[in-house]
Amino acid sequence: MSAQGVKREARIDVKDAQGVKREARIDVKDALGVKRDRRIDVGDALGVKRDRRIDVEDALGVKRDRRIDVGEPLEGSRDRRIDVGEPLEGSREGRIDVGEPLEGSREGRIDVGEPLEGSREGRAEGCGPCRFFKRRGGACYDTSMQDTIARYGEPKNEPVFGYLPGSAERAALKAELGKQAGQSADVPLYIGGERLRTGKLRNIVCPHLHRHSLGVFHQGGAGHVEQAIQAALAAQADWAALPWQQRAAVFLKAADLLAGPWRMKVNAATMLGQSKTCYQAEIDAACELADFFRFNVYFYRRLLEGDQPLSPTPTWNQLDLRPLEGFVFAVTPFNFTSIAGNLPTAPALLGNVVLWKPAATSMLSAYYIMELLIEAGLPKGVINLVAGPAQEIGAVALSHPSLAGVHFTGSTGVFQQMWRTVGSGIDRYRTYPRLVGETGGKDFILAHDSADEDALIAAIVRGGFEYQGQKCSAASRIYVPQSLWGRIRDKLCAEIESIRMGDPSDFRNFMGAVIDAGAFQSITGYIRAASSVPGARVLCGGESDDTQGYFIRPTLVLADDPRHKLMCEEIFGPVVTLHVYDDWKEALRLVDTSSPYALTGAVFARDRQIIDQALGSLRHAAGNFYVNDKPTGAVVGQQPFGGARGSGTNDKAGSAMNLLRWTSLRAIKENFVPPKDYRYGFLTAE
């Protein structure tokens, strides 16, 4: 009987093991006497896979169709239970439990749970509260619908497209570049799943053609930051309760969308908005970001299964990888679209919720990342994007009691200020915030007399001038022995002078423009210092022009003084400073001590003993150390990235070590046979 005394009737015919087809019809009347129709077709009892289709008509006559695939029962069992799940809002469907017919019987069994008082929903018998159940209208429904351990094997790095003349990808990218260049993007805030437009606008421009607007983005203020934090906290419980594989599915889908139909969109946005060449955009915005999405899932799966504690009989010990309590504040730079995508999503994968502030000069690609994640199924409120004045946004986020972590890539000065802010108000937080930051670099190439000359020259040019030297890993200080310098000087200068620079839409260009007027002024100031500060001079390059775009020619400076400011300070532009040394051991000491940074570095030598000496003497001089290769281009899954000293916390983006920073471990012990007497044996009298 129902809650109102109306009888529900059901009958079922089941296809038996001999292949005799039977159809089932369930006629259910609810408390108001509204007839609802359910039909179930059950596959052969010997089939490994059974297909049941349930058609449900609610009281409004709206047909709802669900298909359920049910595997074989455990050996010796004849019971199968089908959970149809919770109806959509406004639906009157209940739950159906279908039992297997007893031996020799042709009748099935359908139990339809009675609705609770005042509810029209059926109720799953015996379900208790746990992380995989939710309550709605007084009824329980299962959110997992799975008994499985999802496996995700080690992924492969996303293949890099070549964009060769005549190739399909070259034509597709050029078409997308033309399309986006002719559009005007209107980039909103993303708060709680809503796209908010404040009307406080800022232009998105091409650095290489700064009079050309690509659109506008809306800026938020302190109130929007608070609103975004509250939206994140409201989404936290449901997101954390979602089984890990369901969270992972969002980012795996995002990776496949990015590698497929979204590839040219994100690449073109990166080229236009950040002045990257097609190759630099490809290895960053498409390949590295897809790698982050996939490898983070793989590393997370390994953490879940690989580090569980011992469980001596009769105990069962487990480690629970809980998300942090509160929100993570992700602050991302302009220079890598992949980092902009990884910093908010890596914590989110582990069940955290995020406030994301992108750089103002990368808002076009940030817009496409956010839309990509939404298409991939990211629930509302999990990642909330607020652009706007950095100080205003940071002041609210960093002082909020629910701040649980900071995921940052940017300048050393900004990160140090964030650390001071958190430290000075440490008693305000609910938990100690996790501070993870990758900051500046003054990255080196140290050459030995035994180095391969052509390989060294190629590494200096690529490592120093790709993406206009605007990489935290870019080679900016070079140490070459006197015996080698005379053999490579002219060829190195000729190679630098041969570099084409201009609009990245012209695929013949190796370099584009620096990011904005502020960067242009800072970098050209360092070039002027090469002449005005004694101990250095410009060997080639040095010209600049900001008439149409923020263009600076690739510049090589020769420094007689190994501690000249151009050898010690981060410039973040297409300026490489070279020092000629006389003594190998003194060169090792200079590399290790003349800069506060320790991000990337490289040694070039054929002599194996020399390589070993460099690895030992420079052990703390670089978090990413390269032998006979340029110090840029770390690949997810191959070279986990990060440095120490003034270069950050070295938490290695693109690795399991980084993911652990976004968990708060809980150890769980269960005793299957607990003691029943407090007395120990040693208390017994002799």
Q: State the catalytic residues.
A: 438, 472
Give the ranges where 182-331 is alpha helix by DSSP (H): 222-241, 244-259, 263-274, 278-281, 289-306
Q: What angle do CA 451, 457, 459 make, to 5 degrees?
A: 90
Cis ω for the linkage preceding 314 (within 30 of 0): yes
- SS3 at position 550: coil
Can you spell out the DSSP letters for 344-382? HHHHHHTT-EEEEE--GGGHHHHHHHHHHHHHTTPPTTS
Q: Are 293 and 249 in contact (CB under 8 A)?
A: no
Pairing verdict, β 185-187 and 209-218: parallel
Give 400: exposed, middle or buried? Use CB within 10 Å, 0-12, 13-18, 19+.
Answer: buried
- SS3 at position 445: strand
Q: Can you tell me which residue has the tokens 């190994």?
A: 562
* 3-state secondary structure string across 332-347: CCCCCHHHHHHHHHHH
Strands (E), 516-655: 536-540, 544-545, 551-552, 555-559, 575-581, 597-598, 600-604, 624-627, 644-645
Q: Are 87 and 54 in contact (CB under 8 A)?
A: no
* 3-state secondary structure string across 69-125: EECCCCCCCCCCCCCCCCCCCCCCCCCCEEECCCCCCCECEEECCCCCCCCCCCCCC
How many Å apart are CA 108 and CA 12, to the nearest integer? 6
Residue 675's contacts (CB-CB under 8 Å, 6 or more residues apart) are: none
Residue 501's contacts (CB-CB under 8 Å, 6 or more residues apart) are: 509, 510, 511, 512, 551, 553, 554
Q: Are 592 and 618 in contact (CB under 8 A)?
A: yes
How many Å apart are CA 456 and CA 439, to the nearest integer? 26
Q: Are 245 and 337 in contact (CB under 8 A)?
A: no
Return the structure tokens found at 664: 């708060």
Residue 312's contacts (CB-CB under 8 Å, 6 or more residues apart) are: none
Q: Are 395 and 307 in contact (CB under 8 A)?
A: no
φ, ψ of residue 463 in degrees (nearest 5): -65, -30
Return the structure tokens found at 657: 């070590």
Say what angle helices 482-497 and 453-465 make with each other, to 10 degrees: 50
Name the residue among 496, 557, 555, 551 with its Cα closest to residue 530.
557
